[in-house]
Structure formats: C-alpha cells, structure tokens
Amino acid sequence: MAQTTVNIRMDEETKKAFDLFCQEIGLSVSAAFNIFAKTVVREQRIPFELTTEVPNAETVAALNEYYEMKAHPERYKRYSDFKALMDEVLDET
C-alpha cells in the first residue's frame, strides 16, 4: 500500500507530552496516529467521548469560591430570602 505524509499542527507542550507518552508505551507518534485513523475509519466514529465537561478557569474559580463559602459560612453574610439579597444589591447602586 502506498504511503503518504500528513502534517499535524499542535502546541509544543502537547507534542512533547505526546512524544513522551508514545515512547513510554513503545509506539512511535506515527504509529499512534495510524492506530487512531484506522480506528476512526473502521468504527466510523471518533473512538473516544468528546465533551466540554472540563471546567474553564472562570468555572474553577467559582467552584473554589463556593467550596470556601461552604467550608466557612461564618465569614459570609446570609440572607433570609432572595428578595432580601436583591434589596441590598439594588440599594448599593
């Protein structure tokens, strides 16, 4: 079967990490991409789940703030209901 060349662009850190991973499992980068491509063709799908469930930096910061507030509720003001909170927020403007 005739061979062809495929060029792939990726950031340098990812490339280094991928190279290292391939070396550790005894594959070349070329072999790893060939395995991926052949699996896609055979199964007619990407052979792993693609999600956006990994939180971005803003979400991580919000979660950390939530965990801090939950761990130390005495440090934060509480409201009896949503109207009380909104009344205070609107009074500050």
Which tens digits make up the pLDDT trace of 47-66? 998 887 788 899 999 999 99
pTM of the predicted structure, to 2 decimals: 0.53
CATH superfamily of domain region 1-50: Met repressor-like (1.10.1220.10)
pLDDT at 43 over 80: yes
User: CATH 1.10.1220.10 occupies which residues in the chain?
Assistant: 1-50
- Does the pLDDT at position 20 exceed 90? yes
- Please work out, in degrees rounded to the nearest 5, the angle formed at the alpha carbon of residue 11 by the alpha carbons of 10 and 15: 75
Of the listed ranges 20-24, 40-44, 51-55, 74-78, the one predicted with least confidence: 51-55
Report angle CA 55, 57, 61 to the nearest 5 degrees.
95
